[in-house]
């Protein structure tokens, strides 16, 4: 903690990360109050992930707040999940949000005939496909197919592009070298590009 942070009583990012990891462990051990303490520590990051999925991809009737709340309830509705740390928690949350957006759009299309298709936009440097807009359902289908053969590569894609982690952070979560993360990331991006073309 820096001197300014100590004087102002503001925890550093590193301390906040440790608090998140500790609370996740407490929740896993049966402390239901840990979830209440966790909310203010993770809410802003979950909102940014939700906005990333929703931006230009879904009707305005689905808000980032609704998506965060639904994802949060689904994440903590599974006591068996063993979160390694905060990054693992955010990666799982991102995966759940992606599935929720697809479920929402599927339901809406069924209720409204000709509901229309929506696209998933990856910003410039994060673009997986060659086209700037990708069908989110198609991307999800391709990621499920890749997951059947290599779960680690899917986790790396999710942590890099949807949670926004750096390669060193991903390497730490996955307990592999940075070069392994880079190699897996390059392979996964190429694989997803081919799959999306076929889709």
4-16 pLDDT tens trace: 433 344 344 556 6
Q: What CA–CA distance (Å, rounded) separates 89 from 107? A: 27
- Same domain assignment for residues 51 and 137: no
- Same domain assignment for residues 85 and 28: yes
Report the CATH number at residue 86.
Answer: 1.10.1740.10
Cβ-based neighbour number of residue 64 at 10 Å: 18
Domain count, the chain: 2
**Domain assignment present for 50:** yes
| 109: its two tokens | 């299309």
The dihedral formed by the CA atoms of 164, 166, 168 and 171, expressed in degrees to the nearest 10: 30
- Residues linked to residue 120 through DSSP beta bridges, in sequence order: 134
**Domain assignment present for 55:** yes
pLDDT at 110: 58
- Same domain assignment for residues 91 and 21: yes
Alpha-carbon distance values, 136 to 49, 121, 174 (Å) = 15, 8, 25
Whether 179 has a pLDDT exceeding 90, the answer reads yes
- Same domain assignment for residues 151 and 59: no
Report the CATH number at residue 158.
Answer: 1.10.10
Alpha-carbon distance values, 68 to 75, 80, 92, 173, 199 (Å) = 10, 20, 12, 23, 29
- Same domain assignment for residues 137 and 181: yes
Domain-terminating residue out of 57, 82, 114? 114
- Same domain assignment for residues 61 and 107: yes
Domain-terminating residue out of 83, 114, 145? 114
**Domain assignment present for 75:** yes
- Same domain assignment for residues 22 and 56: yes
- Same domain assignment for residues 143 and 99: no
- Same domain assignment for residues 22 and 104: yes
SS3 52: helix
**Domain assignment present for 2:** no
Nearest to 115 by CA among 123, 106, 124: 106
Q: What CA–CA distance (Å, rounded) separates 72 from 6? A: 31
Lowest mean pLDDT among 29-33, 65-69, 137-141, 176-180: 137-141
- Same domain assignment for residues 80 and 159: no
- Same domain assignment for residues 150 and 104: no
Report residue 185's pLDDT band, with 50, 70 and 90 as the boundaries.
very high
Domain-terminating residue out of 84, 114, 144? 114
pLDDT at 135: 65
**Domain assignment present for 8:** no
| pTM for the structure as a whole | 0.64
Q: Which residues fall within 8 angstroms of residue 64, CB to CB, at 6 or more apart? A: 47, 50, 51, 54
- Same domain assignment for residues 191 and 151: yes
Q: Which residue range forms the structural domain that includes residue 179?
A: 125-199
**Domain assignment present for 120:** no
For the chain, give the number of residues.
199
């Amino acid at each position: 903690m820096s001197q300014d942070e100590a004087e102002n009583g503001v925890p550093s990012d590193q301390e906040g990360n440790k608090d998140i990891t500790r609370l996740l462990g407490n929740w896993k051990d049966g402390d239901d109050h840990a979830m209440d303490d966790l909310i203010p520590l993770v809410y802003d990051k979950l909102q940014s992930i939700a906005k990333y999925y929703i931006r230009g991809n879904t009707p305005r009737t689905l808000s980032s707040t609704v998506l965060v709340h639904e994802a949060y309830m689904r994440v903590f509705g599974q006591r068996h999940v063993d979160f390694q740390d905060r990054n693992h928690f955010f990666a799982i949350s991102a995966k759940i949000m992606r599935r929720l957006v697809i479920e929402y759009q599927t339901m809406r299309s069924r209720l409204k005939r000709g509901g229309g298709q929506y696209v998933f936009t990856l910003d410039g440097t994060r673009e997986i496909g060659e086209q700037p807009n990708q069908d989110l359902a198609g991307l999800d289908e391709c990621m499920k197919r890749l997951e059947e053969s290599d779960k680690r590569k899917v986790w790396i894609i999710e942590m890099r592009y949807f949670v926004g982690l750096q390669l060193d952070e991903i390497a730490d979560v996955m307990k592999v070298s940075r070069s392994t993360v880079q190699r897996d990331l390059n392979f996964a991006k190429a694989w997803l590009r081919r799959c999306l073309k076929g889709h």
